[in-house]
Amino acid sequence: MRIIVAGGDGFCGWPTALYLSKQGHDVTIVDNLVRRKIDDELNSNSVTPIATLEERVEKWEELTGKEIQTFTGDLNHYDFLREVFRQTNPDAFVHFAEQRSAPYSMIDREHAVYTQSNNVIGNLNVLYAIKEFAPECHLIKLGTMGEYGTPNIDIEEGYIEIEHKGRKDLLPYPKQPGSFYHLSKVHDSHNIMFACKIWGIRATDLNQGVVYGLHTEETKMDPVLANRVDYDGVYGTALNRFINQAAIGHDITVYGSGGQTRAFLNIEDTVRCVEIAAENPADQGEFRVFNQFTEWFSVNDLAERVQKIAKEEGLDTQVKKIENPRIESEEHYYNAVNTKLRDLGLEPHLLTDDVIRDILRVAVENKERIIEENVLPSITWK
Ligand code: NAD
């Protein structure tokens, strides 16, 4: 298949592009490299040193003989996107290219507006490009489990059957997102659903859990192929952030009481889920939703697990509860369905102690790169 990976220079996109290329697909990366500029804005960095996109794809070709074409540009620039579609005529468009930090979207008005315009308009442009230039192309869009929030009932995969005043219907599952970033994903989902209905586009919305880990088989092949790993209070996701705190002997900081429960998956499963979606496309006109995660944990569970492994590795670190910078329930019901990807063949890589240990060892190897003042939250929801 000819597959575009938009956001292919990022944490999920880069390993996905390599994996799909290895599987024999003709992969094109589209990225405006804004995530690298945001590192400069936040005075932050990836724990692992990352090569330029040009160096990365050159190394991949040198090692495997497989070419990954790249287009550097912004999905918000329709002239650019049109040209990408004209030159590549994709069978699938994997869309990772969004601003994905909830805290970043909550910094101030400018960052909220940037997040929503970047994400919502970029995605709308992709929908128009598919309609105009590649109507058969399957949109595989990264959404998030955070779209659902934490309702006091089970979370279904996209749709819920409702009986109301004696009548029944299958309706989109209610969304109660917790940040302007998560809201942008809900807006995207609505736009995609509508485009499927009116234009007959085929789309899969992957409501992804929090991704942890760093390596995949492909990114391990050479240091130039290394994936980025965020650890700071803005982009670092819960488990990766705790592990990096432990690596420098910092307290593992839990927001509030720590009962917040979230769905998680290993980066090795992210790449496989995208492949499964690509190989089993939605029908024309279908807006399909998969919940893309393998396990769920409370923040307290994760903090304790990291502390235990850190201790075994000779690192003395304490779990510390700090004031929650977010507005969210700290104790709540959580039970989410995730059978669709499993039914299509996903075999999960679960969070074992060895997985935590591997990530911790990489963090320790690179600990001089960790900027200590960045590991604490600096942005509040109020
Ligand atoms: P990332 O920030 O590492 O990568 C996103 C990439 O997209 C970056 O390389 C960035 O430069 C690029 N980009 C952003 N806006 C763009 C635009 N307008 N045009 C072109 N390129 C643009 O993020 P990630 O962690 O790889 O996340 C990828 C996707 O997965 C996001 O949509 C995110 O919402 C979703 N997701 C991520 C997680 C997670 O835990 N990382 C969890 C759930 C969902």
pLDDT tens, residue by residue, 248-259: 999 999 999 999
> What is the mean pLDDT of the segment spanning 96-109?
98
Q: Which two tokens stand for residue 154?
A: 């089970």
* Ligand 1 atom closest to residue 36's alpha carbon, by position in its atom list: 11
Split at pLDDT 50, 70, 90, the class of 187 is very high
Task: Specify which residues 288 forms β-bridges with.
Answer: 204
> What is the mean pLDDT of the segment spanning 296-317?
97
* Alpha carbon of 73 to ligand 1 centroid (Å): 14
**DSSP string for 138-205:** EEEEEEEGGGT---SS-B-SSEEEEEETTEEEEEEPP---SSHHHHHHHHHHHHHHHHHHHH--EEEE
* Ligand 1 atom closest to residue 37's alpha carbon, by position in its atom list: 11
What distance in Å separates the CA atoms of residue 133 and residue 129, rounded to the nearest whole number? Answer: 6
* Alpha carbon of 84 to ligand 1 centroid (Å): 19
Q: In Å, how far are 57, 281, 361 from 68, measured between CA atoms?
A: 6, 22, 30
- Give percent of the chain with pLDDT exceeding 90: 99
What distance in Å separates the CA atoms of residue 331 and residue 368, rounded to the nearest whole number? Answer: 36
Nearest CA to ligand 1 atom 42: 210
Q: Is the pTM above the cut of 0.80?
A: yes
> What is the mean pLDDT of the segment spanning 332-340?
98
Angle of CA points 269, 256, 229, to nearest 5°: 35
Nearest CA to ligand 1 atom 16: 97
Which among 252, 257, 352, 359 has a CA at the least distance from the CA of 307? Answer: 252
> What is the mean pLDDT of the segment spanning 102-117?
98
Helical (H) or strand (E) element with 343: helix 339-343
CB-based contact 245:359 (threshold 8 Å): no
For this complex, say whether ipTM is above 0.90: yes
Helical (H) or strand (E) element with 27: strand 26-31
pLDDT tens, residue by residue, 53-91: 999 999 999 999 999 999 999 999 999 999 999 999 999
> What is the mean pLDDT of the segment spanning 20-30?
98
Describe the chain by its helix, strand, coil percentages, rounded to 5. 40, 20, 40
By annotation, the residues acting in catalysis are 144, 181, 185
Nearest CA to ligand 1 atom 34: 100
Task: Specify the amino acid at residue 140.
Answer: I
Question: Is the Cα dihedral 107, 109, 112, 115 positive or negative?
Answer: negative
* Alpha carbon of 105 to ligand 1 centroid (Å): 13
* Ligand 1 atom closest to residue 9's alpha carbon, by position in its atom list: 9
Given a cut of 90, whether residue 264 has pLDDT beyond it is: yes
List, chain by chain if needed, residues with CB within 6 Å of any ligand 1 atom.
7, 9-13, 31-35, 74-76, 96-100, 118, 122, 142, 144, 208, 210-211, 237
Averaged pLDDT score across all residues of the chain = 97
pLDDT tens, residue by residue, 154-177: 999 999 999 999 999 999 999 999
Reported for 82-85, long-range contacts at CB under 8 A and 24+ positions apart, including other chains, are: 82/129, 82/132, 82/133, 84/4, 84/28, 84/30, 84/129, 85/129, 85/130, 85/132, 85/133, 85/134
**What local confidence, expressed as pLDDT, does residue 40 receive?**
97
Nearest CA to ligand 1 atom 13: 97
> What is the mean pLDDT of the segment spanning 138-146?
98
What angle do the packed helices 53-64 and 13-22 form, to 10 degrees?
A: 20
Given a cut of 90, whether residue 238 has pLDDT beyond it is: no
